[in-house]
Structure 1
Amino acid sequence: IEDQVMPKKCGHLSGKEVVPVEEMVKKIVMAVNSRRSEDFLIVARTDARGVTGIDDAIERARIYVEAGADIIFPEALESAEEFRRFAREVRAPLMANMTEFGKSPLLSVKELGDMGYRLVIFPATTFRASMMASKRILEIIRDKGTQRDHLDLLMSRSEFYSLINYYGYEEEDRRVDSIARGLLERVKRSAGLKI
């Protein structure tokens, strides 16, 4: 649940606005009151750091915890010291966003864990890596008309099949097919069918 004014913007860009604290508290309380399972966690994200500053972000986070949030997600903190300070001053499970090319420094899971962060997300890392690899191989195909000399850039068929458990699914298909054939034969015999 976020405290940004809609329409939402990327937390690492300028021009965001945050809703009044009271509005966010209402959202959290409604989520808490609607929860049907203890396994459902309420994550309260604050974008206040980039709008009203670190002090307000910390104050909001404390209020969000009191309102019932299970995890606090301070978006776009701008230094390792801000991450440390936030963890010192907000007594709750914390989440960190390690998106590349944003306002936050790229800290390791260990560094963040040592500060007290219990959840670290890398929301665009694999997407950015795969898009860069796709761009590179497409440029090669555009320039050379083939990927033939660059197969080392690609996952092999055996690696891909292993990754997706292709042969395991084939084996399961054979097993289920055998069970289905046996069941059909028993039904035919017991019903006297010649199908």
Structure 2
Amino acid sequence: MSFPRSLDGTMAEAAEKMRTMMKELSDKDIRDEVTRREIFEAARKVCKGMTPGLMTSPRYEFIERLLLCGNMNAKKAAIDELAMICDHEMGESCSVRRWMKTRNLLPVLLSDHLDHPEYVGKIGPIVRKLAPVLSEREFRAVWCLQKGRCGISHEMFVLLLANLASGFQEDQIIMLFRYFKKQLKLLATCQLQQTAFLRMTDVVLIALTRQCRPPIPLKDK
């Protein structure tokens, strides 16, 4: 479906007005649930009238602000909205992935709350959407989440890794097995840890077989 230029122009004006209004909101304002809900409702209407794929969406901008504002409830609201885009709005599929990659949102999502199953479950659709464009450097940062005294629990790491694996492309799957092989060698002397690791690989292997993997355009990587 193509959108007439006049409509795009009108919606662009509406989007700009929304941005101006959002800039006037304080961090205290956006901590209010009703305010957040009203802004998202308005942003969805504006974005619905814009050409799909435009990355200048005020909806995206408000999501990012909520993610970075330091309030847990605001961050949850942003994650719910972003997960809804990733899971259900196919017209935004490439755009939202490119935007998340450009804005480097993965470290923001993985910066805290990874000990909460509900939180890790909520970010699942977002992680799956980002997975195909994850670089090895970014994956290494995820892999290291299991290490050290501050590492996340084994169960949460398995869930996170399974979500990534379900969206991986062929070259990333090869990379993943390279990491598996290295880890297995390190655990060769500890039967208990080795058993836990093998269970993790089983979960990830199931995730790898769940869905087809359409190629990702080079411009999105």
TM bin (shorter chain): 0.3 to 0.5
Larger CA Rg, structure 1 vs 2: 1
Greater strand share, structure number: 1
- The alignment's TM-score, normalised by the length of structure 2, stands at 0.30
Q: When the two structures are superposed, what TM-score results if normalisation uses the length of structure 1?
A: 0.33
Q: Which has the higher helix share?
A: 2
Higher relative contact order (CA 8 A, sep 6+): 2
